[in-house]
Chains A and B, each alone.
Chain A
Amino acid sequence: MKTILSTLVLVFAFIFKVSANDPAFENAMKTQIAAMKSIQTPAESQTVTNGFLRIAEAKTTEWLPLYYAAYLQSIAAFRFEVNKDEYFDQAMELVTKADKIAPNNSEITALKGFIIMGKLSVDPMSRGQEMSPLAMQTFGKAIALDKENPRATTLMAQMELGMSQFFGSGPEKACGLARVGLELFAKEEAKVTENYLLPTWGKDQAEQVAGVCK
Chain B
Amino acid sequence: MKIRLTLFASFVFLQGAVFAQTVISGKVLDEKNLPLPGVNVFIKGSFDGTSSDENGEFNFESAESGTQLLVISMMGFKTQEQALELNGESIKIPVITLKEEFSELNTVTISAGAIEASDEKKSVILRPLDIVTTPSAMGDIVGAFQTLPGTSTVGNDGRLFVRGGDASEVGIFIDGMRVGNAYGTTAGNVPTRTRFNPNLFKGTFFSTGGYSAEYGQALSSALALNTKDLAKRSQGDLSIMSVGGGYSHTLANDQRSLTVSGNIFDLKPYQALIKQDFDWERAPYGIDLEVAAQQKTAKGGLWKVLARTETGGMKLWQPQPGIESRGILVDLTNSYSYAQTNWRRAYENGWSLFGGFSYSHNKDLYNLDGLNLERKNNLSHAKFTATYDFSDRIAAKNGLEYFRNDYQETLTEPGFSRSFGENQVYLFTEWDWFLSRKFVLRTGLRSGVSSLASEEWLDPRASLAYKISENGTFSFAAGRFHQLPLENLRVLNPDLKNTQSEHLIANYLLQKEGITFRAEAFYKSYDHLVRYDGIPQNPQNIRNEGEGFAQGFDLFFRDRKSLKNTDYWITYSFVDSKRSYQQYETQVQPDFAPKHNFSVVVKHFVPTLKSQLGMSWSFNDGLTYTDPNFPGEMNSKTVSYQNLSLSWSYLPRPNLIIHAAVTNVTGHENIFGYQYALTPNEQGQFESIPQGQGAPRFLFLGIFLTLSKDKNANQLNNL
Contact = CB atoms under 8 A, between A and B. Distances in A.
A133 B38 contact: no
Contacts of B533: none
A18 B7 contact: yes
A207 interface: no
Interface in A31-86: 43, 46-47, 50-51, 53-55, 57-58, 85-86
A169 B5 CA distance: 62
B232 interface: yes
B586 interface: no
Interface string B40-84: 101011111111001000000000000000010101100000000
Contact of A85 (B7, B48, B105, B651): B105
B402 to A, nearest CB: 35
Interface string B89-132: 00000000000000001000000000000010000000101100
B119 A127 contact: yes
Nearest to B75: A90
A98 interface: no
A14 B2 CA distance: 12
A71 to B, nearest CB: 15
Interface string B223-257: 00000000011000000000000000000000000
A90 B73 CA distance: 14
Given A53-B40, A127-B119, A136-B712, A58 B45 contact: yes
A163 B232 contact: no
A55 B560 contact: no
A28 interface: yes
Contacts of B39: 50
B38 A50 contact: yes
Contacts of A54: 40, 42, 47-49
B607 interface: yes
| Interface SS majority for chain A | helix
A136 B232 CA distance: 10
Contacts of B716: 129
B381 to A, nearest CB: 29
B560 A169 contact: no
Given A54-B40, A55-B47, A134-B232, A126 B127 contact: yes
Contacts, number: 83
A208 interface: no
B539 interface: no
A189 interface: no
Given A55-B47, A90-B75, A137 B232 contact: yes
Interface centre among B7, B39, B130, B654 (most CB of A within 10 A): B654
A211 interface: no
Nearest to A60: B45
Given A125-B567, A126-B127, A136-B710, A58 B47 contact: yes
Interface string A135-171: 0110000000000000000000000000100111100
A168 B38 contact: no
Given A24-B10, A43-B54, A168-B607, A163 B233 contact: no
B186 interface: no
Contact of A47 (B10, B51, B710): B51
A194 interface: no
Nearest to A127: B119
A197 interface: no
Interface string B329-350: 0000000000000000000000
B449 interface: no
Contacts of A137: 232-233, 710
A86 B76 contact: yes
B119 A133 contact: no
B233 A132 contact: no
Given A43-B38, A129-B716, A163 B654 contact: yes
B326 interface: no
B418 interface: no
B71 to A, nearest CB: 7
Contacts of A163: 654, 712
B713 interface: yes
B481 to A, nearest CB: 32
Contacts of A198: none
A167 B76 contact: no
Nearest to B652: A167
B129 A133 contact: no
Interface in B519-575: 560, 567
B3 interface: yes
B668 interface: no
B129 A126 contact: yes
Interface string A161-194: 0010011110000000000000000000000000
A82 to B, nearest CB: 11
A57 B232 contact: no
A129 B3 contact: no
Contacts of B448: none
B129 A167 contact: no
Interface in A76-133: 85-86, 89-90, 93, 125-127, 129-130, 132-133
Interface string B583-611: 00000000000000000000000011010
A57 B51 contact: no
B51 A46 contact: yes
B712 A132 contact: yes
A15 interface: yes
Interface string B701-719: 0000000001011001100
Contacts of B47: 24-25, 28, 54-55, 58
A57 B42 contact: yes
Contact of B713 (A14, A50, A93, A133): A133
A100 B232 CA distance: 21
A167 B51 contact: no
A129 B717 contact: yes
Nearest to B119: A130
A112 B76 CA distance: 20
A159 to B, nearest CB: 9
Contacts of B7: 18
A51 B38 CA distance: 11
B275 interface: no
A134 B202 CA distance: 14
A50 B710 contact: no
A125 B130 CA distance: 11
A166 B608 CA distance: 10
Interface string B16-49: 0000000000000000000001111010111111
A50 B233 contact: no
B2 to A, nearest CB: 11
Interface in B115-162: 119, 127, 129-130
A116 to B, nearest CB: 12
15 contacts: A18-B3, A18-B7, A25-B47, A28-B47, A43-B54, A50-B38, A50-B40, A54-B49, A57-B45, A125-B567, A133-B712, A134-B232, A168-B608, A168-B610, A169-B653
